[in-house]
Amino acid sequence: MRRLRRLKNKRAWLAAPYGVWAAGFIIIPLIMIIYFAFTSDEGGAFTLANFSEAFTGETVKALWLSILLAAVSTAICLVMAYPLAMILAERKRGAGGLIILIFILPMWMNFLLRTFAWQTLLEKNGVINSILSFLGLPSLNIINTPWAIILGMVYNFLPFMVLPIYNVLIKIDKEVFEAARDLGAGPWQTFRKITVPLSVPGIVSGITMVFIPALTTFVISDLLGGSKILLIGNVIEQEFKQLNNWNVGSAMSLVLMIFIVISMVVSAKTDKDGEGSLL
Amino acid sequence: MKFLKRFYMVIIFIMLYAPIITLMVLSFNTSKSRAHWGGFTLHWYESLFQNTDIMQALYNTLIIALLASVIATVIGTLASVGMNAMGKRSRSIFVGVTNIPMLNSEIVMGVSLMLLFIIGRMELGFSTILISHITFNIPYVILNVLPKLKQINRETYEAALDLGATPFYAYRKVVIPDIMPGIISGFLLSFTMSLDDFVITYFTKGPGIDTLSTKIYSEVRKGIRPEMYSLSTILFATVLLLLLIVYLHPDKNKAGSRRKQPSKLRRAGGILVKRVLPAALAAVIIFGGIYYFRGSSTAYTGEVVVYNFGDYLDYDVLDQFEEETGIRVIYEEYETNEIMYPKIKSGAVAYDVVCPSDYMIQKMMQNDLLQEINYDNIPNIRYIGDIYMKTSEQFDPGNKYSVPNYWGTVGILYNKKMVDEPVTSWKILWETKYKDSILMQDSVRDAFAVALKYDGYSLNSTNMMELNDAQELLLTQKPLVQAYVVDQARDKMIGNEAALAVIYSGDALYAQTENPDLEFVVPDEGSNVWLDSWVIPANAKNKENAEAFINFMCRPDIALKNFEYTTYSIPNTAARELIEDEEIRESTTVFPDEEILSRCETFNYLGPDTEEIYNRLWREVKSQ
């Protein structure tokens, strides 16, 4: 027994390379963001000025708009994904291949190209409007508006909502449904009282998996918003890539991380066993 | 109900696959513009394989994804084993740290790594991309392997030890096979994530290295080359085929019920996964490697790192330069002066030749970012017209730091079919009847120049009242604007997407040849005349090569080639004489006459404070 424990202690050291790696490339970079956020451009003295500069009128506006668009897209994703996850979970076997076909396969077509293709689809003289006008329907003019960005977010992040919900739904014991039916519950009641409560971990995990990338994207707004709509991701990207203002950019990143920490805490609370994970 | 379910699935399926099908269709489109269908062709599939920079980007993408996922799988698997053996407290710390890259947004992670690399004085390039990819891949591996480790039966391992196996042997023979599925799926997931990553690569890459993602991003604004579509179609079709064979074979569904001889097809699928796939991957790496190093094996005598505006020269010219001089060109592009400047200033990358605009050259000079050019090494400067050297003196007194490359004006390009009134004033960009048909320039100085000129002010105004007026104008204009664009304006005008666009004179000529309904005009209120010149940054490592490059660019035949490619006006008078088409040689769109030029101003550098004001006002406009 002692030999085993000694072996075990030795084995724990196998995590050492990762520990060093994580310290160097996960922890230290985050500390650098914190450092830059609280120091001044010249001299590096402690200051809070970066935050007050970061949160002047237009950045706050961008942040609110990002929160709004991310929230709307997350809601749409949830509404679209839940029935889909249920339909997939009903299939007894063979759903695995189908899910991979539907959700993983598109990833092999570059994400930027896929999003960019929506431009061709949505444009004034684009594919969708050609079809609409052929059918004699009014044209759809959402390119370069917030709606196009929401569409892009839903399109890109829908899988992150479907997979966790699906993974929770297939684990629910089918007998629970039978019991509910035996006890006289109708389909709606079963759904409301059984399916939804039991799938909460998946829903929460799905919401964080969609909300965070939607909140922080700068590519989708760039490609589908016609550079007319500035999200917080665009502002941060500009601070680093164009204005070279690392301190203010870091302050903004730090504020974004608050949202990330909140969602980490929420999902850790509701999903203790990691049931609603992506995998 | 069943019908409804089917219908719903089909709708989702269409939504997810419509863009992919669009891209596939575009890969067969004869026309370069994605706006219209020009007929069926396989041309882009042929030219793809001759396109060295796309193939290079593909190779970079694959090798980075492969290396990153292999290294991450090793580190991640070891870490999982270690974490599984740890006490509760240290394990929860490790799990917490592992969660950070999973939940953290890509942009924050990319930015934090970029800061680390720049502060740590690591040159941004292949290795920094690789490190970043490994970092975000390890958690995916751990997430796949750790649960498997928790599931395995400990007693088998202990039994093996009792039977005299060494711990390592027992682990290898008993535990590893059990967790293998987790390791493999972790590896595959890492590979896919690496392949599809854009944001983190974008922040941690250096010049001259591109993955497919960053290459595509740099092309998005000026129009993606159709070869990209054909490459993606090939990649996609290959993976689809593999998946169809492996996953969708009917035997899989019955595997539980009838465990007899696997069918031939299934076996073929198994062989494909176990043998053919690794072999194919190895082949790609090896041939790619040969391809990759063939480039560098042609003994170059040195290199020159060039940083230029997007689509600003005929790319054949670079090959020609390499052939004739034996100097290897590392070539990178930027979209606007404002994007270029911080990169030079931060010094993270040492560029040898850059091509900024007039006011930016002035700014760089004032900030000691440029060094004097030795004109003895650039005899071809004699081909540059005197008038342009004189204009240069406005921002580079004594012509010490710069060699003119292109020049031109800014004006309005409009579609005669959509605009039936004569266009003489900037005012038309504020007409409500052209709502959603106006394309504005997406760069601070150009946008403000339009508004300031419309108000009758100088486009170098530093007067706060005038600037506020201009901002007010831009704000009232914003609801009418279809999009703020840079290079995309040209393609959108060609595709009849908009009626009016603020555009550089050089783009106008090209647009007119593609779409004869377009007309270019420099409004009566006046506009900007600009000059883009070659300069050498102060921290350049290969000054003499840089001068050789500039000299080469001033050669009349080369300047002519660049002109024919970009259609931007060249200050190279000897090259202008060589233009065969008289209509172009004498065109006032390409070579504006004295009368037009007398109405135009060059941009001056206005100092950091005024610049800050411009930036702030512009950002307020954009975020409104």
Stretch B265-276: mean pLDDT: 57
Q: Residue B420: pLDDT band by 50, 70, 90 thresholds?
A: confident
Asked whether the beta carbons of residue A27 and residue B199 sit closer than 8 angstroms, the reply is no
Per CB-CB distance under 8 Å, the chain B contacts of A246 are 115
Which letter does DSSP use for residue B29 in this model? B
- Which residues touch A241 (CB under 8 Å, ≥6 apart)? B203, B339, B342
- Residue recorded with tokens 């830059």: A36
For residue A214, pLDDT over 80 is answered with yes
Integer Cα distance of B285 and B60 in angstroms: 10
Which among B161, B220, B243 has the least Cβ separation from residue A105? B243
Is residue A92 located within the same domain as residue A157? yes
**Tens-place pLDDT, residues B175-215:** 888 888 889 889 988 998 898 899 999 999 877 788 989 98
Q: Is B111's CB within 8 Å of A33's CB?
A: yes
pLDDT band at B255 (very low <50, low <70, confident <90, very high): very low
Evaluate whether residue A279 is within a structural domain.
no
Tell me A105's DSSP state: G
Q: Inform me whether the pLDDT recorded for A1 exceeds 60.
A: no
What is the interface pTM, i.e. ipTM, of the complex? 0.89
Q: Which domains does chain B have, with CATH numbers?
A: 53-225 (1.10.3720.10), 305-406+531-593 (3.40.190.10), 408-529+608-623 (3.40.190.10)
Global pTM value:
0.77
Contact (CB, 8 A) for B530 and B603: yes
B620–A58 CB contact, under 8 Å: yes
Whether residue A43 is contained in a domain is answered as: no
Q: Which residue of B has its CA nearest to A229?
A: B623
Higher pLDDT pick, B481 / B124: B481
Q: The domain that contains A112 carries what CATH number?
A: 1.10.3720.10
Q: Are A20 and A127 part of one and the same domain? A: no
Distance of CA B89 to the CA centre of its chain: 44
Put simply, the answer to whether B86 touches A15 (Cβ < 8 Å) is yes
CB-based contacts of A103, cutoff 8 Å, min separation 6: A158, A159, A162, A163, B16
Q: Percentage of chain A surpassing pLDDT 70?
A: 90
Taking 50 as the threshold, does the pLDDT of residue B261 lie above it?
no
Residues in B closer than 8 angstroms to A18, CB to CB, are 75-76, 78-79, 82, 94, 138, 142
Q: What is the pLDDT of residue B284?
A: 66
Residue B76 has pLDDT above 90, yes or no: yes
CB contact under 8 A, A226 and B483: yes
Give A20 or B511, the one with higher predicted confidence.
Answer: A20
Burial class (CB in 10 A: 0-12, 13-18, 19+), B5: middle
Q: Find the radius of gyration of the CA atoms of chain A.
A: 23
Closest residue, chain B, to A17 (C-alpha):
B75
- Residue B253 is predicted with a pLDDT of 44
Q: Which of B138-142, B399-403, B559-563, B620-624 has the lowest mean pLDDT?
A: B620-624
| Residue A109 to residue B235, Cβ atoms within 8 A | yes
What does each C-alpha distance from A135 to A127, A142, B8 come to in angstroms? 13, 19, 22
Indicate the residue of A4, A144, A240 with minimum beta-carbon distance to B114: A240
Which CA distances in Å does B170 have to A163, B177, B312? Answer: 36, 11, 62
- Do residues A62 and A18 both lie within one domain? no
Name the H helices within B455-572: 464-477, 488-494, 505-514, 543-553, 556-566
Binned at pLDDT 50, 70 and 90, residue B377 comes out as: very high
pLDDT at B337: 85
pLDDT score for B77: 93
DSSP character string of B402-454: -EEEEEEEEEEEEETTT--S---SGGGGG-GGGTT-EEEE-SHHHHHHHHHHH
Of A8, A103, A227, the CB nearest to B85: A8
For A212, nearest residue in chain B (alpha carbons): B105
Task: For residues A6 and A88, state if they share a domain.
Answer: no
A chain contacts of residue B192, beta-carbon cutoff 8 Å: 104, 107-108
What pLDDT is recorded for position B252?
43
Q: Is residue B259 predicted with pLDDT exceeding 50?
A: no
Cα A41 to Cα A44, A50, A58, B364, distances in angstroms: 6, 9, 21, 20
Question: Looking at the structure, do residues A63 and A9 belong to the same domain, yes or no?
Answer: no
Beta strands (DSSP E) in B92-194 are none
As given in the structure block, the two tokens for residue B290 are: 């040969």
Nearest CA in chain A to B116: A29
d(C-alpha A271, C-alpha A203), whole Å: 10
Rounded to the nearest 5 degrees, what angle is found at the Cα of B180, between the Cα atoms of B174 and B181? 135
Q: Are residues A81 and A141 in the same domain?
A: yes
Number of structural domains found in chain A? 2
Across all residues in chain B, what is the average pLDDT?
A: 85
Residue B507 has pLDDT above 80, yes or no: yes
Identify whether residues A121 and A226 lie together within a single domain. yes
Same domain, A55 and A24: no
Residue A109 shares a structural domain with residue A20: no
Tokens 């407290």 sit on residue: B89
Please provide residue B100's backbone torsions phi and psi, each rounded to the nearest 5 degrees: -60, -55
H or E element, residue B484: strand B481-485
Question: Which of A8, A18, A215, A232 to probe the B interface (max B CBs under 10 A)?
Answer: A18
d(CA B253, CA B275): 23
Main-chain phi, psi angles of B396, to 5 degrees: -130, 75
The answer as to whether A77 is a domain residue is yes
Q: Which long-range contacts (CB under 8 A, 24 or more apart) does B319-324 make?
A: B320/B558, B321/B549, B321/B552, B324/B552
Share of chain B above pLDDT 90, in %: 34
Q: Reply yes or no on whether the pLDDT at A127 is more than 70.
A: yes
Q: Are residues A86 and A30 in the same domain?
A: no
* Res A81: pLDDT: 92
Across the range A178-193, mean pLDDT stands at 84
Q: Decide if pLDDT at A271 tops 70.
A: no
Contact B620 A240 (CB under 8 A): no
Return the axis-axis angle of helices B106-119 and A200-216, rounded to nearest 10°.
50
Q: How far is B314 from chain A (nearest CA, A)?
A: 25
Beta bridge partners of B411: B503
Q: Rounded CA gap, B566 and B400, in Å?
A: 27
Query: Within chain B, what is the greatest distance between any pair of CA atoms?
Result: 98
- The residues, ordered by sequence, that sit 6+ positions from B201 with a Cβ below 8 Å of its Cβ are B110, B129, B132, B133, B211, B213, B214
Residue A21's alpha-carbon distances to A4, B65, B76, B135, B162, in angstroms, are 28, 18, 10, 8, 35
Half-sphere CA count of B486, side-chain side, radius 13 A: 20
**pLDDT at residue B173 above 70?**
yes
Q: Rounded CA gap, B75 and B133, in Å?
A: 13
User: Which residue has better confidence, A228 or A86?
Assistant: A86
- Which residues lie below 8 Å from residue B226, measured CB to CB, with a gap of 6+? B26, B27, B29, B32, B44
- Is A191 inside any structural domain? yes
Q: Are residues A64 and A1 in the same domain?
A: no
pLDDT of amino acid B277: 64
What percentage of chain A's residues is helix, strand, coil (to nearest 5)?
A: 75, 0, 25
pLDDT(A143) > 90: no
- Find which of B88, B128, B623 to mutate to test the A interface (most A CBs within 10 Å of its CB): B623
pLDDT of residue B265: 52
Q: How many helices (H) and strands (E) does chain A have?
A: 16, 0
Contact check, Cβ <8 Å, A29/B113: yes
What residues of B are in contact with residue A27 (Cβ under 8 Å)?
Answer: 97
Res B258: pLDDT: 41
Same domain, A54 and A29: no
Q: Looking at A61-75, B241-255, B535-549, B592-606, which range is the least confident one?
A: B241-255
For the record, the structure tokens of B271 come out as 């062989």
Give B438's contacts (C-beta < 8 A, 6+ positions apart): B429, B477, B480, B481, B482, B498, B499, B500, B501
Report the 10 Å Cβ neighbour count for B321.
21
Interface probe for A, chosen from B17, B111, B236 (most Cβ of A below 10 Å), is: B111
Which of helix, strand or coil describes residue B601? strand
Cα gap B522→B599, rounded to integer Å: 9
pLDDT of residue B614: 92
With respect to residue A231, please indicate whether it lies within any of the assigned structural domains: yes
pLDDT digits (tens, 9 = 90+) for B308-354: 987 788 888 998 999 899 898 988 888 778 788 888 887 777 899 99
CA atoms within 13 A on the CB side of B407: 28
Provide the residue range defining the domain that includes A29: 1-38
The beta-carbon neighbor of B105 closest among A212, A242, A250 is A212
Q: Tell me the C-alpha distance between B587 and B569, whole Å.
A: 10
**Domain for residue A44, yes or no?**
no
Task: Give the chain A residue whose CA is nearest to the CA of B22.
Answer: A117
More confident residue, B13 or B52: B13
- Bridging pattern class, strands B370-371 and B353-354: unpaired
Distance (Å, rounded) from C-alpha B385 to C-alpha B550? 16
Task: Report yes or no: A12 and B82 within 8 Å, Cβ to Cβ.
Answer: yes
Interface size between A and B, measured as CB pairs under 8 A: 281
> What is the per-residue pLDDT for B602?
87
CA pair distance B459, B614, nearest whole angstrom = 12
Residues of B in contact with A213 (CB under 8 A): 105-106
Collapsing DSSP states into helix, strand and coil, what is residue B129?
helix
Q: What is the mean pLDDT of residues A224-238?
A: 86
User: Is the CB of A7 less than 8 angstroms away from the CB of B167?
Assistant: yes
Question: Which pLDDT score, from 0 to 100, does residue B381 have?
Answer: 92
The SS3 assignment for B307 reads strand
Report CB contact under 8 Å: A218, B107.
Answer: yes
Indicate which of B26, B71, B115 best probes the interface with A, i.e. most A CBs within 10 Å of its own CB.
B115
* Cβ atoms of residues B359 and B603 within 8 Å: yes
> What CA–CA distance (Å, rounded) separates B58 from B52?
10
Split at pLDDT 50, 70, 90, the class of B243 is confident
Of A85-99, B90-104, B294-308, give the range with the top mean pLDDT. Answer: B90-104
Quick check: B79 and A118 CB within 8 A? no
B108–A33: do the CB atoms touch at under 8 Å? yes
What does the mean pLDDT of chain A come to? 84
pLDDT value, residue B64? 93
Nearest by CB to B35, which of A30, A125, A215?
A125
Q: What is the 3-state secondary structure (H, E, C) of A42-67?
A: CCCCECCHHHHHHCCHHHHHHHHHHH
Averaged pLDDT, A255-273: 76
Interface contact flag, B442 A32, Cβ < 8 Å: no
Question: Which is more confidently placed, B372 or B581?
Answer: B372
What chain A residue is nearest to B14 in terms of C-alpha separation? Answer: A102
**Is the pLDDT confidence value at B250 over 60?**
no
Is A139 among the domain residues? yes
Is the CB of residue B145 less than 8 Å from the CB of residue B234?
no
